[in-house]
Amino acid sequence: MDHDIPLPELLHLPYALYGLALNPATQADPQLCESLLDGRPAGRLARGGALPEEIAARLAAHGDPEVRAVPAEREGADGGRHELFAADPDAEVRIALAQNPELSPELTARLGADTDPAVREAVARREEAPAEDLHRALLADPEPKVRVAACRHRPPADLHGALLADPATRHHVVPFLDLDPETAGQLAADPDDRVREQLAGHPCLPAELRAVLARDADPGVRGKVFERADATPQEQAVIFESLTAGALRYAEDPRDSSDEDFLCEAMLTCLDLMPYPWVEPDPLPYADSPFAGLRCAAARSTALPAEARTRLLADENPRVRFLALAGLAEVDLTVAEELDRRQGGMVKHGGRPADCVTFPPETLRRFATDPDPWMRVLALRDPDLPDEMLERLAADQEESVRCATAGHPRVPVAALLRLLGDTDEEVVEAAAASPLLPVEVMRAVLDRADAAGDPPPAPVPCEGDCRQGAFAK
């Protein structure tokens, strides 16, 4: 049936359907759900938190194992379908069930003995430690990947020797060893970089071996030494200098650089993000560290004196500035705005300074006309933003602003319909996911999809999840 709704001429149907599958209004309507049960949108629909029981049952018995895998991983034990999923003929569904946090011990044990090694591996990777008999069975599994996954949890001490002798599990068992000097010396000379890297992080590493590993040929090994609480400033300086040299060579010509140079660049990034928990009790000595990761750890600490925190608000590193701001008991709105502007779009890890404050409506509305789209997005954190501002932001030249506007809880329907026909697919998906979209429009989109036939493969989801983030604060 054709619903006489003036849909936009340009309508990226696959994205519109994926948005509809995520729409709370769709998930509460059995008829709309019914229209999405066939084809790829069913996988998204299965992620709904409050689907009608008849729809949930049909998704659990769906013909596509990718769809069945979604409820298998997410559905609670009270749904009564775990037994059904455990007996599913497709291993993909059983793998998903093995990751379900509400899986009973009985079904966990059954899947731990599954004929498919990928299912047993999924059981071994569960967050909670398995029962001892199951753990021992997984550690002795004929499939190396299963044994490796089972090393995630502390193996029984009487198995350490066998796991150390197994090339697949050798480096995984090192952190659990009761390290003696002889074993430490042997591991420090191991040709496997992964073994030496795990040794470099062992709490009982002798100081003389720590000094040796600080000059190891592998960047990962050197990085592990840097992270240690007992690493000397001299060792850290040598490590950082060597990693920086490799990262510079990689930056100059990535195509002509070595794998080691690439790893140096990656390890430098990791060192900025490590938690360094030993800094927290006594952060002041690290507030002026030459290493950004240690300054970040100092800024995170609630024990950092106010004067040092103020210094870190002017740090050259945006993550240090953000963490210093987040640790303030009372945040100056002017300072927060200034730091947020300074940070701009340079967010790779963590939040933005604006996440630390709640700007008043007058400030957020000022951001609506800001020249910088990074700031205009902040305007959408005002849940009562006037319609005229929402209309303007819905027509913004920047896709990120339009995408965020589509997820606003008060976006005018007329603007939402225009966003449904946006040139950017992610904006279309965000508009289709809005619970403000009229049901008649949803049905018209589904009618057009029926007329067009099967949609193309799944679109890539919006990286920043524009449907949710902009107005959440």
* Tens of pLDDT, residues 252-275: 998 888 999 999 999 999 999 999
The total domain count for the chain is 4
Is pTM, for the whole model, over 0.95? Answer: no
Same domain, 26 and 71: no
Identify the pLDDT of residue 473. Answer: 42
Looking at 315, 338, 357, the residue that finishes a domain is: 357
Same domain, 219 and 138: no
Which range marks the domain in which residue 336 is found?
A: 289-357
Q: What is the C-alpha to C-alpha distance for residues 19 and 424, in angstroms, rounded to an integer?
A: 13
CB atoms within 10 A of CB 339: 22
Identify the pLDDT of residue 468. Answer: 38
Which are the contacts of 403, defined by CB distance < 8 A and separation ≥ 6?
A: 424, 426, 427, 430, 462, 464, 466, 467
Nearest to 396 by CA among 420, 414, 371: 371
Give 319: exposed, middle or buried? Use CB within 10 Å, 0-12, 13-18, 19+: buried
Same domain, 440 and 473: yes
Question: What does residue 468 show for φ and ψ, rounded to 5 degrees?
Answer: -120, -35
Identify the pLDDT of residue 452. Answer: 76
Is the residue at 306 inside a domain? yes
Q: What is the C-alpha to C-alpha distance for residues 103 and 430, in angstroms, rounded to an integer?
A: 33
Identify the pLDDT of residue 4. Answer: 53
Same domain, 194 and 147: no
Is the residue at 193 inside a domain? yes
Nearest to 195 by CA among 173, 222, 227, 217: 173
Same domain, 57 and 73: no
Q: Is 283:298 a contact under the CB 8 Å cutoff?
A: yes
Same domain, 140 and 201: no
Single-letter residue type at 85: F
Same domain, 69 and 148: yes
Nearest to 467 by CA among 425, 412, 404: 404
Is the residue at 164 inside a domain? no
Q: Is the dihedral of CA 408, 409, 414, 420 positive or negative?
A: positive
Looking at 357, 374, 389, the residue that finishes a domain is: 357
> Could you give the C-alpha distances from 411 to 192, 377, 395, 403, 468, in angstroms and in order?
57, 14, 12, 11, 13
Same domain, 470 and 374: yes
Is the residue at 168 inside a domain? no
Residues of the chain with pLDDT under 70: 1-6, 345-350, 453-473
Which are the contacts of 225, defined by CB distance < 8 A and separation ≥ 6?
A: 200, 210, 213, 214, 216, 231, 235, 239
Same domain, 54 and 95: no
Identify the pLDDT of residue 69. Answer: 96
Same domain, 363 and 470: yes
First to last CA, the chain: 41
Same domain, 362 and 465: yes
Is the residue at 165 inside a domain? no
Is the residue at 116 inside a domain? yes
Is the residue at 46 inside a domain? yes
Same domain, 76 and 137: yes
Identify the pLDDT of residue 451. Answer: 79
Q: What is the C-alpha to C-alpha distance for residues 165 and 64, in angstroms, rounded to an integer?
A: 42
Looking at 357, 373, 389, the residue that finishes a domain is: 357
**Token pair belonging to 254:** 């990535």
Is the residue at 161 inside a domain? no
